[in-house]
Amino acid sequence: MRDTLRINGKRLLERLQSLGEIGALQGGGVCRLALSEEDRQGRERVIGWMRELGLQVTTDAMGNVFGLRPGQEKGPPVMTGSHIDTVRTGGLYDGNLGVLGGLEVVETLNDAGITTRRPLCVAFFTNEEGARFAPDMMGSLVYVGGMPLEEALATKGIDGEKVGDCLDAIEARGSMSVGNPEVHAFVELHIEQGPVLEESGITIGAVEKVQGISWTELTFTGTSNHAGTTPMRLRHDAGYAAMATATFVRDLVNRIGGDQVGTVGYLDIAPNLVNVVANHSRFTVDLRNTDNERLKQAEQELADFVNQLADREGIEFERRTLARFDPVPFDLAMVDRVESAAKALGHSVMRMPSGAGHDAQMLARICPTSMIFVPSADGISHNINEHTEPADLEAGVNVLLQVMLDLSE
């Protein structure tokens, strides 16, 4: 009976659409930055669904939310989940699919009158994106003990606001100490956010690992001056330095090759005027690689370049590490479970790494963990046109259902 159990794809889509109304952008997409008013509304809606499904809802001091479904026995639950915060130009599925897919699994079991041996839990973690407050995966990192709670709460975002103050402003700070509930195993359903599954014509990704992530913030301080009267030999141009570094990053990544990727996504220049040599620039460099040694090489070459550039240009600089996570391998038995569940359901499946960071990479520090990927149309994500076909969404949640049933017995 359990093998033939299937989720309700229409109900799943309705919840995804409903949650996507919160923070909806003109012309499509979603903006629900961590700990914003939109995040508060999103939390309220998801917690409401959790309660409607009979889950026991708890919130920890970092605002991580857990919906527990009791089992026949007590003990650490089989957990699934992800995040409901988005980047500024987010889509309907990044993170949300993992949380609402978990709720769909619960409702399917409720409808079938099934109580699993182990308890189940559906979670969403605070500030997975890291777009407002770095590092990313902050909530799950604190939950697994990888970042002290106080340090996280004191973290300032790109708008100067503190995490703790923003948690309180949206009444998201819970009373439960971080690290609860314990967890038996964790499996996260997520869109791939890249082109691999679609290009391979494969429906399910059994994720073997998450690549290493290095986020650095660089601040250059030069001398503002007249764009017309200042000879080039007398310039200390913080704008030029930022853009020279951005082009260096692209050349560096092309030179290293392989899985190496590099992005300058955040750039602020002042005074940002047509006829003034910039005296200030602040920007971020996102470097990633599945190979940690190569990632370290990229970080070292970037540091060397910035030192030499600052000397040459006669400018000051500050460097701040916003995030640094080594590549994380997932538990092979868990990857096998994802792969065999997909095959048993008749879906094509391939083992693959994750290019994006995920809460699962933090849960892997404390319990057997893996991820289930479904295809992203045109490999697009962190973009309002993010899309995954309903049949693929449904396939992913059916695989999640079977893996959770498997783990809960």
For ligand HGY, the binding residues (CB under 6 A) are: 128-130, 136, 356-357
Tokens at 159, concatenated: 């708008």
Q: Which does 95 bind (CB under 5 to 8 A by kind): ligand HGY, Mn ion, none?
A: Mn ion
We find the least distance from the C-beta atom of residue 95 to ligand HGY, in angstroms, to be 8
For tokens 């959790």, the residue is 50
Closest CA to 370 of 188, 118, 196, 123: 188
Q: Do 136 and 213 touch, CB atoms closer than 8 A?
A: yes
The residue among 359 and 394 lying less far from ligand HGY, judged by its C-beta, is 359
We find the least distance from the C-beta atom of residue 124 to ligand HGY, in angstroms, to be 14
The residue among 130 and 239 lying less far from ligand HGY, judged by its C-beta, is 130
Q: Which does 357 bind (CB under 5 to 8 A by kind): Mn ion, ligand HGY, none?
A: ligand HGY
Query: Mask 88-127, x = binds Mn ion (CB under 5 A)?
Result: ------xx--------------------------------
Q: What is the Cα–Cα distance from 210 to 366, expressed in whole angstroms?
A: 16
For tokens 């200042």, the residue is 230
The residue among 296 and 365 lying less far from Mn ion, judged by its C-beta, is 365
Q: What are phi and psi of 89, to 5 degrees?
A: -120, 60
CB neighbours of 5 closer than 8 A, spacing ≥ 6?
Answer: 108, 109, 112, 114, 401, 405
Residue type, 393: L
Q: Which does 85 bind (CB under 5 to 8 A by kind): ligand HGY, Mn ion, none?
A: none
The residue among 129 and 188 lying less far from ligand HGY, judged by its C-beta, is 129
The residue among 285 and 404 lying less far from ligand HGY, judged by its C-beta, is 285
Interactions with Mn ion, residue window 75-94 (CB under 5 A):
94
Assign 50 to helix, strand or coil: helix
Q: What is the Cα–Cα distance from 273 to 337, expressed in whole angstroms?
A: 57
Q: Do 59 and 96 touch, CB atoms closer than 8 A?
A: no
Q: Which does 386 bind (CB under 5 to 8 A by kind): ligand HGY, Mn ion, none?
A: none
Q: Can residue 135 be called a binding residue for Mn ion (CB under 5 A)?
A: no
We find the least distance from the C-beta atom of residue 348 to ligand HGY, in angstroms, to be 25
We find the least distance from the C-beta atom of residue 128 to ligand HGY, in angstroms, to be 6
Q: What is the Cα–Cα distance from 270 to 142, expressed in whole angstroms?
A: 35
Q: Do 105 and 80 touch, CB atoms closer than 8 A?
A: yes
We find the least distance from the C-beta atom of residue 264 to ligand HGY, in angstroms, to be 14
Q: What is the Cα–Cα distance from 164 to 16, expressed in whole angstroms?
A: 28
We find the least distance from the C-beta atom of residue 103 to ligand HGY, in angstroms, to be 21
| β partners of residue 156 | 162
We find the least distance from the C-beta atom of residue 131 to ligand HGY, in angstroms, to be 8
We find the least distance from the C-beta atom of residue 87 to ligand HGY, in angstroms, to be 7
The residue among 128 and 237 lying less far from Mn ion, judged by its C-beta, is 128
The residue among 130 and 262 lying less far from ligand HGY, judged by its C-beta, is 130
The residue among 67 and 95 lying less far from Mn ion, judged by its C-beta, is 95
Q: Where are the beta strands (DSSP E) in 264-380?
A: 267-270, 276-277, 280-289, 316-325, 328-329, 349-354, 369-374
**Footprint on this chain of Mn ion (rule: CB under 5 A):** 94-95
